[in-house]
Every structure is written in C-alpha cells, then in structure tokens.
C-alpha cells in the first residue's frame, strides 16, 4: 500500500510540472503575440508620428547673397539654437536627433549693415523626409556689419623697460611698422594705432631687440584704449620685432678750434674771450659707456676775424654738422653762434719791406730772392698791444719747405707772421686776401 501511494504522488507531481511548463509557454507566446499585434496596428493604422527636438543648431547662410559679395557679414544672432516639431514616417524620423538637423537663416534679403528679423528654416543633414510642424522661435534677429580692412601704424610702449641711471631710450623701431586690420567698419574706423608693450626686467644700459606677439598688442582710438575688440578683429600678422636703442645721456661743454694763428699767439686767451650762444649741449650717445669731456663744434680761421665793419663778428655752426654719428641732440638746439667781441680791440696796418722777410729751410742747389718790394698786413689785437706794436716786433718768414722746389722760376709763397712780444695779436685778411704772399725768384747755383 505504501509503495502504491508513493508512485501516485510521483505521477501527480510530474503532471503538475508539465502543466506548469505548458502555462509558461502560453504566457510567453501571449506577450509576443501582443507585441506583434501592437506593432502591426501602429504601422498600419498610425504610420506617421510627431517629434519635438530641442537644441537644433542655427546657422546663417550667406552663399551667393548681396551681403556676401559686398563684405557685409553677420555680427551677432539673437538665438544659437531652436526647438522644432516635425512630423513624418516613423521609419524616417523615429531616430532623428538635434545634430541631424540644421536651422538655417538665409541672408538673401540683406542689403546693408543693420539688424534684420529673418525667418528660420529647417533642413535635414542626412536627407530624411519630414514635415516641419513648428519652429520656436520662428524668426531670429541678426545684426549685420560691413567688414573693412585698413593699414594701422604699430608703435612700441617702452614704459615697462627699466634703465640704468643716466640712460634713455629713443628712436625705437618696430618691424613691421604697420599691419592690415580687418573687422567691422564701426570698430576699424575708430582704430588709430596699435601699441606693443615691451617689457624687459632688470636695469639695462645697452640696446636690445625683442620678439613681441599678439598678447602684447593694445588697440587705441587716439589716446583712449579700445577694450575687448581684439577677438572681433583679424590681423595680417601678429609677430613683431622691436629694436630698442639705448643712449647714454650727458651734458658736454662746447669748444671750437682756432686755425692759422701766429705761432706765438695765445689761443687759449682768445678762446676765453669768445661768447657762445650756448656753452653746453645735452646729448645722448648710442651704447656709449665713456662720457665725452667736451664737444668741438667747428673751426674759426683767425684770419677771418678782421672786424671789417668795426663790430662784433659772429660765426654760426650747425648741429647737423658737428654732432657725431650715433648721437642725439637732446637740447634740440639746431645752431650754435660764437661771437668774437670787438670791444677793447684795435687794428693796425704796417708796411713790411722785403728785407724784413726771412727765407728759411733753403734747399741746397738753389738761390732765392724776394722780388716783391714789401707787404702790408692787417694786425688785430687788444688796443693796448696794437698801440704799442712796431715793425721791429714782427717776425715774418717764408718757409721754403712749404712747396717742393725742383726748377728755377718765380714762385708765390705765403708769409707767416709771429709777434712774440704781443701774444694777443694776429694777422687778419685784408681786402679779401686771406694770406699775405710774396714772389720769390728761384735760380740754380750750378
């Protein structure tokens, strides 16, 4: 009996298990059937769907427009993206996303630089077919500007450079000295120049050269810096070379050279009597390390100081001529005048017979004879010394070495004078003749 019961239980359990397995199959099949029925009804009964897509990127289409051909470009747009609702076949638009669409604004009606309210169109980026139900916003406001290009000068701002004491910067050279700037007309028209900041740490006393880039550019409208405009502009180049010359500043005393003075003439006393319009000049020398002790501005030929009109004599010297190369005239004085005062001076003409004139440095093989009867030079000096001057105080010589002598004949030779007893006296030009000359006859001794 016990065995029979156990067998019955096993049979019932097996039948229950089979039943359960049969119900699971039925459940699974029911679900699949329902899905198939839903899909069939959706496709057949409802083939089109609607979808709302946000964040569709917006672009302005300028191609072939009047604006594009006349350098009128978009500056700003009121919207960067739009929201669009589309309708179409489920298979066409079911998997469309924002990046598959583009919101296009056509610039065909743009004829000048101003704000325009323009309609928005939607296009598919992968040729999907659909109907646009709505676009939000349906229009956008776009600002258009005229784009121009002009040459703008480039300068250097050296305020950030530290210099050693006594040094200065001048004549900074920027290469290129001008660049082409492109941007909206209302911005570019206001640009007057571009300044480059040129920083250099540490005190310097030597010229240097730096490469400067766009990060150091500052845009100016006159004296006013234009803020936040560089991102809206383009430049034909943004790399520059800045050459910075460094000068040593110094103040130098002015001096002149006296020429053709008698051998015994007191040149220093004469120079001390001169009156300079400026006794010193502030100058700067490029990369100069040693200071000048003085600056010679030119020469005064003592023979030209003849007080012909009985007044002071003035000599003028141009800084363009006496300032050495590489020096800057910081005083900006173009001309220096040097006056020889006539006050306290006097003039005297004395006849010097030929027998008072000495011939020195006679070459061998020749004989010499002065055939000029005499000369009458003009002597100038202090009134006291001129009044005391006599013919016996004057030494007149002709140096025969001054001209090579190789043959017999007549030569005109210059007479040199000295007045040892009176060092403030000189011989000046008379009647337009700078030097007194005599004729010397040369003959051979052989």
pLDDT more than 90, % of the chain: 69
* 158-197 residues labelled b (16+ CB within 10 A) or e (exposed): beebebeeebebeebebeeeebebebbeebbeebeebbbb
Give residue 259's pLDDT band: very low, low, confident or very high (50, 70, 90). Answer: very high
CATH number, domain 347-444: 2.170.120.30
Look up residue 444 and give its two tokens.
């051979």
Which helix (H) or strand (E) is 10 found in, with range?
helix 2-45
Q: CA 69 to CA 169: how far, in whole Å?
A: 48
Structural domain boundaries of the chain? 1-46, 48-137, 151-244, 248-343, 347-444
CA–CA distance from 5 to each of 8, 10, 14 (Å)?
Answer: 5, 9, 14
Q: CA 317 to CA 162: how far, in whole Å?
A: 36
Fold of the domain built from segment(s) 248-343: RNA Polymerase Alpha Subunit; Chain A, domain 2 (2.170.120)
The CATH number of 151-244, from 2.60.120, 1.10.10, 2.170.120, 2.40.128, is 2.170.120
Same fold: 48-137 with 151-244:
yes
Q: CA 208 to CA 322: how far, in whole Å?
A: 27
Fold of the domain built from segment(s) 48-137: RNA Polymerase Alpha Subunit; Chain A, domain 2 (2.170.120)
Q: What's the predicted TM-score (pTM) here?
A: 0.58
pLDDT of residue 441: 93
**Which residues, listed in sequence order, are joined to residue 243 by a DSSP beta bridge?**
173, 209
pLDDT tens readout for residues 355-409: 999 999 998 888 999 999 999 999 999 999 999 999 999 999 999 988 788 788 9
pLDDT of residue 328: 85
pLDDT of residue 25: 55
């Amino acid at each position: 009996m016990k065995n029979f019961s156990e067998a019955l239980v096993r049979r019932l359990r097996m039948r229950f298990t089979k039943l359960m397995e049969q119900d699971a199959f039925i459940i699974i099949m029911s679900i699949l059937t329902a899905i198939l029925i839903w899909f069939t009804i959706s496709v057949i009964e409802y083939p089109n769907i609607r979808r709302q897509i946000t964040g569709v990127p917006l672009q302005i289409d300028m191609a072939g427009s009047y604006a594009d051909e006349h350098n009128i470009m978009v500056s700003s747009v009121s919207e960067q993206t739009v929201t669009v609702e589309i309708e179409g076949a489920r298979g066409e638009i079911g998997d469309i996303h924002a990046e598959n669409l583009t919101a296009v604004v056509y610039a065909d009606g743009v004829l000048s630089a101003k704000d325009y309210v323009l309609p928005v169109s939607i296009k598919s980026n992968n040729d999907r077919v659909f109907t646009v139900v709505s676009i939000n916003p349906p229009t956008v406001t776009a600002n258009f500007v005229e784009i121009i290009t002009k040459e703008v000068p480039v300068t250097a701002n050296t305020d950030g450079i530290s210099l050693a004491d006594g040094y200065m910067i001048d004549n900074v050279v920027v290469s290129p000295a001008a660049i082409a700037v492109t941007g909206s007309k209302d911005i570019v028209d206001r640009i007057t120049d571009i300044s480059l900041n040129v920083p250099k740490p540490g005190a310097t006393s030597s010229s240097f050269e730096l490469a400067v880039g766009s990060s150091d550019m500052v845009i100016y409208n006159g004296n006013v810096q234009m803020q936040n405009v560089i991102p809206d502009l383009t430049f034909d180049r943004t790399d520059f070379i800045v050459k910075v010359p460094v000068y040593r500043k110094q103040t130098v005393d002015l001096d002149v050279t006296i020429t053709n003075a008698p051998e015994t003439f007191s040149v220093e006393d004469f120079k001390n009597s001169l009156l300079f319009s400026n006794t010193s000049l502030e100058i700067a020398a490029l990369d100069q390390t040693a200071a000048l002790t003085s600056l010679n501005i030119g020469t005064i030929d003592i023979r030209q100081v003849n007080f012909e009109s009985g007044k002071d004599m003035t000599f003028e010297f141009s800084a363009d001529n006496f300032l050495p190369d590489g020096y800057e005239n910081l005083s900006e004085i173009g001309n220096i005048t040097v006056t020889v005062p006539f006050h306290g001076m006097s003039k005297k003409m004395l006849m010097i017979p030929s027998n008072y004139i000495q011939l020195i440095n006679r070459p061998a093989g020749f004989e010499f004879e002065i055939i000029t009867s005499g000369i009458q030079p003009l002597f100038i000096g202090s009134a006291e010394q001129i009044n005391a001057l006599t013919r016996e105080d004057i030494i007149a010589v002709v140096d025969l070495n001054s001209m090579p002598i190789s043959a017999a004949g007549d030569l005109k030779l210059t007479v040199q004078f000295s007045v040892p007893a009176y060092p403030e006296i000189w011989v000046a030009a008379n009647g337009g003749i700078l030097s007194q000359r005599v004729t010397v006859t040369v003959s051979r001794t052989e």
